[in-house]
């Protein structure tokens, strides 16, 4: 199983939009588990599910198993562990390593080809639990000055978390979102990211498309919508690019 964490501490940078469409796009290629770690629960809404106020992915922090939180979604290959809307991370003293432990105890990797985790825009125990199990981290960012800074901050958090836990740093993919090629600031910001963090980490940008906002109303991720649009084409390409990159990483590991 490959675990892909979608993260950026900057709010509103299309983490959830990306999580929902990557998870659904990957479901066309294998079995996928989507963990909605953000208590806003927008990823759950995005795959056609209601927010659960009784049981959700956050229930693992109060002794539940991960498996008992699973529910079906709009896609037969996509299983969701929804957000628990009223979970308060600050009510708990130590939440470290809980998700990693659940993965191991429940042999989650045997049941799914991919796990996609949507994370909140904070550097808290939820994000740390996610980074603990990450093989890859996708950082969506809006190509503005602060967006570029946020990518750097996210990378530092990632390296810090890996060092503290003595684990290999996850593969990083940086995804420009809400991109408009006619805006100079957007083009310049992408060039800054290339120069500062390396072109190899960059994925092709996702353009602005209002259908990406509207998909949450229907609960049908845009990559699964038969009506093609700029947003669905962009995210379908993103899924293909990621699959290619995963293959390259796997080849290098075999060597
Ligand atoms: N490419 C796009 N074109 C147009 N609107 C978009 C695009 N990507 C995302 N949006 C919209 O931008 C808003 C923020 O996106 P989203 O909720 O995915 O960000 P987020 O990073 O998950 O936010 P948060 O930090 O609150 O979790 C949403 O209203 C979403 O529908
Ligand atoms: Mg979100």
Residue-wise pLDDT for 148-180, tens only, equals: 999 999 999 999 989 988 889 999 999 999 999
**Total domains, the chain:** 1
Q: Where are the beta strands (DSSP E) in 54-201?
A: 71-72, 78-81, 114-118, 136-141, 171-176
Residues 6+ apart with CB under 8 A from 220: 48, 74
Q: Please report the sign of the dihedral spanned by the C-alpha atoms of residue 26, residue 47, residue 136, residue 245.
A: positive
Could you say which ligand is closest to the alpha carbon of residue 140? 1
Could you say which ligand is closest to the alpha carbon of residue 21? 1
**Rounded distance, CA 13 to CA 148, Å?**
11
212 Cα to the center of ligand 2, angstroms: 13
pLDDT of residue 52: 65
The full DSSP string for 34-74 is EEE-STT-HHHHHTT-PPBSS--GGGGGGT--SGGG-EE-S
Q: Please report the sign of the dihedral spanned by the C-alpha atoms of residue 192, residue 194, residue 10, residue 25.
A: positive
pLDDT of residue 93: 81
Mean pLDDT of 16-24: 98
Residue nearest atom 14 of ligand 1, based on CA coordinates: 12
For the CA atoms of 200, 113, 74, 88, what is the dihedral angle to 10 degrees? -80
Neighbours of ion ligand 2 (CB under 5 A): 15-16
> Pocket residues for ligand 1 (CB within 6 Å)?
11-17, 38, 40, 42, 121, 177-178, 206, 208-210, 212-213, 231
* Average pLDDT of the residues of the chain: 95
pLDDT band of 22, cuts 50, 70, 90: very high
Mean pLDDT of 201-216: 97
Residue nearest atom 9 of ligand 1, based on CA coordinates: 14
Tell me the longest C-alpha to C-alpha distance in the chain. 51
Residue 147 DSSP SS3: helix
13 Cα to the center of ligand 2, angstroms: 8
* Cβ(112)–Cβ(33) below 8 Å: yes
Mean pLDDT of 85-113: 94
Query: Is it the case that residue 254 has pLDDT exceeding 80?
Result: no
For the CA atoms of 11, 12, 16, 18, what is the dihedral angle to 10 degrees? -120
pLDDT of residue 165: 84
**Best residue among 9, 17, 37 to mutate for probing ligand 1, ranked by most atoms within 8 Å of CB:** 17
Domain range enclosing 179: 2-254
CA distance readout (Å), 158 to 96, 103, 153 = 15, 20, 9
6 Cα to the center of ligand 1, angstroms: 13
pLDDT of residue 252: 85
CA distance readout (Å), 78 to 93, 122, 166, 250 = 33, 26, 32, 23
Least confident of 10-19, 80-89, 110-119: 80-89
**Rounded distance, CA 8 to CA 5, Å?**
10
184 Cα to the center of ligand 2, angstroms: 27
Residue 192, exposed/middle/buried by CB under 10 A (0-12, 13-18, 19+)? middle
Residue nearest atom 11 of ligand 1, based on CA coordinates: 213
**Best residue among 35, 122, 142, 212 to mutate for probing ligand 1, ranked by most atoms within 8 Å of CB:** 212
Residue 106, exposed/middle/buried by CB under 10 A (0-12, 13-18, 19+)? middle
**Rounded distance, CA 216 to CA 218, Å?**
6
**Residue 9 belongs to domain with CATH number:** 3.40.50.300
């Amino acid at each position: 199983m490959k675990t892909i964490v979608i993260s950026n501490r900057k709010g509103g940078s299309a983490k959830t939009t990306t999580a929902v469409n990557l998870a659904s796009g990957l479901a066309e290629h294998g079995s996928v588990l989507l963990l909605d770690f953000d208590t806003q629960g927008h990823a759950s809404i995005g795959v056609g599910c209601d927010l659960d106020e009784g049981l959700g992915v956050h229930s693992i922090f109060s002794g539940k198993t991960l498996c008992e939180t699973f529910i079906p979604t709009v896609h037969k290959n996509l299983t969701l562990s929804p957000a628990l809307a009223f979970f308060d991370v600050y009510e708990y003293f130590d939440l470290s390593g809980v998700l990693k432990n659940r993965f191991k105890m429940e042999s989650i990797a045997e049941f799914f080809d991919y796990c996609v985790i949507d994370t909140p825009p904070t550097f808290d125990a939820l994000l740390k639990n996610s980074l603990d199990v990450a093989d890859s981290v996708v950082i969506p960012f809006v190509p503005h000055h602060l967006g570029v800074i946020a990518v750097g901050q996210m990378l530092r958090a990632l390296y810090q978390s890996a060092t503290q836990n003595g684990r290999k740093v996850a593969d990083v993919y940086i995804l420009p979102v809400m991109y408009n090629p006619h805006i100079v600031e957007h083009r310049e910001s992408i060039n800054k990211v290339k120069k500062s963090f390396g072109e190899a980490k960059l994925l092709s940008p996702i353009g602005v498309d209002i259908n990406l906002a509207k998909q949450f109303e229907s609960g049908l991720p845009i990559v699964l919508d038969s009506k093609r649009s700029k947003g669905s084409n962009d995210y379908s390409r993103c899924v293909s690019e990621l699959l290619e990159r995963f293959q390259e990483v796997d080849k290098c590991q075999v060597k």
